[in-house]
């Protein structure tokens, strides 16, 4: 099994520190080095790997400094290796690698960027998905296409339902407020939002969620919802069209 530590940084980023068998420690998407170094010292862990889901600087900003200090190996997407600072190992869809007692599976999930990947730890039921799937949301489609993002989300939704989703940002409250505008009668969504509001009022993280929670309440995984289709005036339309309209509406949502 793995031990996972959450490190909040910047305005709303989460860096994830993963330890396995005491000898192996990875950091996922390190934006800045200092909090990572502090947490490593606190737990007496030696950094062996950096896992980058994509190239954006708020996910790779600490790569070179952490590599300089620890001589760790940087793992990232083959499809975007030129934009991952200090990358050592390039991986593509369905590649696997050993991490202590774990076998980590790579899932190609383009859309937010052209070379986005996710890291899935099946033994411990943990998914580190960067900016592809959020709690109650998904990433903006910057470099890829809507079809790519939709297909990426389908891949993630097919993981075991109890898989814990460790995304990279605390966007949950805003995502939930948007979700309620297009599926206001979803009882599971309303119940989840009540808990989210309570947590955020106390400064408590809403991450991780689970795949099951996302399937039940995340509008980007629910284009088959008749209520969403009606509210978007897209009843019976292709799921990709409904997803696309949902993403476009979220892009301009303020709340």
Question: Could you confirm whether 116 is annotated as catalytic?
Answer: no
| Catalytic-labelled residue, pool 29, 80, 108, 131 | 131
Q: Is 108 a catalytic residue?
A: no
Separation of alpha carbons 72 and 85, rounded Å: 13
Q: Is 59 a catalytic residue?
A: yes
Q: Annotated catalytic, 49?
A: no
Q: Which of 29, 49, 55, 58 is catalytic?
A: 58
Instruction: Give the residue carrying structure tokens 């991986």.
Output: 91
Selected catalytic residue, list 59, 80, 108, 116: 59
Residue whose pair of structure tokens reads 């200092």 in the numeric block: 34
Nearest to 193 by CA among 181, 169, 177: 177
Catalytic residue among 56, 80, 108, 116: 56
Residue whose C-alpha is closest to residue 251's, from 167, 138, 172: 138
Q: Count of residues for the chain?
A: 255
The tokens of 109 are what?
């999930």
The conformation of residue 111, written as its DSSP 8-state character, comes to: S
112 is catalytic: yes
* Residue of 54, 55, 108, 116 with catalytic role: 54
Instruction: Single out the catalytic residue among 29, 49, 108, 112.
Output: 112
Distance CA 15, CA 24 (A): 17
* 187 phi and psi angles, rounded to 5 deg: -65, -40
Active site residues: 54, 56, 58-59, 112, 131, 169
């Amino acid at each position: 099994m793995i031990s996972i530590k959450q490190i909040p940084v910047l305005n709303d980023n989460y860096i994830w520190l993963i330890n396995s068998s005491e000898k192996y420690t990875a950091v996922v998407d390190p934006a800045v080095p200092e909090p990572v170094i502090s947490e490593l010292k606190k737990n007496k862990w030696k950094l062996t790997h950096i896992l980058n889901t994509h190239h954006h600087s708020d996910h790779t900003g600490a790569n070179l400094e952490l590599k300089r200090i620890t001589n760790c190996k940087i793992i990232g997407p083959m499809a975007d290796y030129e934009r991952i600072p200090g990358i050592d190992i390039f991986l593509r869809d369905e590649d696997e690698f050993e991490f202590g007692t774990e076998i980590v599976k790579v899932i190609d999930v383009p859309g937010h960027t052209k070379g986005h990947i996710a890291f899935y730890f099946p033994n411990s039921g943990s998914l580190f998905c960067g900016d592809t799937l959020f709690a109650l949301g998904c990433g903006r489609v910057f470099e890829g296409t809507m079809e790519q993002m939709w297909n990426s989300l389908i891949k993630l939704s097919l993981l075991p339902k109890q898989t814990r989703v460790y995304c990279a940002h605390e966007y949950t409250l805003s995502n939930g407020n948007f979700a309620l505008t297009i599926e206001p009668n979803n009882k599971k969504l309303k119940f989840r939002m009540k808990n989210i509001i309570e947590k955020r009022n106390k400064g408590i993280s809403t991450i991780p969620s689970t795949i099951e929670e996302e399937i039940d309440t995340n509008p980007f995984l629910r284009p088959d919802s008749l209520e969403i289709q009606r509210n978007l005036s897209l009843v019976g339309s292709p799921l990709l069209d409904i997803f696309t309209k949902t993403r476009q509406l979220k892009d301009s949502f303020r709340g």
